Amino acid sequence: MTGRVSRFVCAIAGFLIFAAARPAYAQAGAFDVAFGYSFLHENELKENFPAGWFASVSGGVNRWFSLAGEVVGNAKTFENPQANVKVTATAFGVGPRFVGHSGNARPFAQVLFGGVRGKFGIAGVNDSQTNFAWIPGAGLDVDIAGGVGVRFAVNGRFIKHDTDSDTSKEFNFLFGILFSHKRR
């Protein structure tokens, strides 16, 4: 049930971001795209997932407020004498981003709402589950030259599971390249 609700919430939020981004672009004229490396620490498993990636996009509503969307994927293979177990986690979310300005640096804080899809594979048998998650985060975008820069960010993930009342927690570190456009 929560998986269906997560997909519905994400579809509605994605539509709202798309609908708001066009007037936001016309009004504020700023948007950015970032992608790069993701490192994940999963608290419940007490494991690090060093293999990962992220992609992010945001559209400015005004100078200090943007609508953002982000997808983050991480994977790890646990070696076992009987069979290796591959675990992947893909988080996706949309929500508000609050942006500051200080020279070439733009600190930001955001809260994204969406889901996390966990997938487990062992000996050719796969299982997956998608759960609702809220993802608070903060970061720093630094312009280097001509609309190209770097992003440093950290996110927490709070994942509500269907099967019980527990909420699992994850910590995510992101580092990547940033392409931004500001209408003059």
Question: Helices marked H in the chain — which ranges?
Answer: 2-27
Taking only the tens place, the pLDDT of each residue in 88-112 is 999 999 999 999 988 889 999 999 9
118 DSSP assignment: E
Which fold does the domain 2-182 belong to in CATH?
A: Porin (2.40.160)
pTM here is 0.78
Model pLDDT, residue 146: 85
* The pLDDT of residue 18 is above 80: no
Taking only the tens place, the pLDDT of each residue in 22-54 is 444 444 558 899 999 999 999 888 999 999 999
* Cα angle for residues 115, 119, 125 (degrees, 5° grid): 155
The amino acid at residue 140 is: L
Q: What stretches of the chain adopt beta strand conformation (E)? A: 30-42, 47-49, 51-60, 65-78, 85-99, 105-122, 125-145, 148-160, 167-182
Are the beta carbons of 49 and 76 closer than 8 angstroms?
yes
Domain ranges of the chain: 2-182
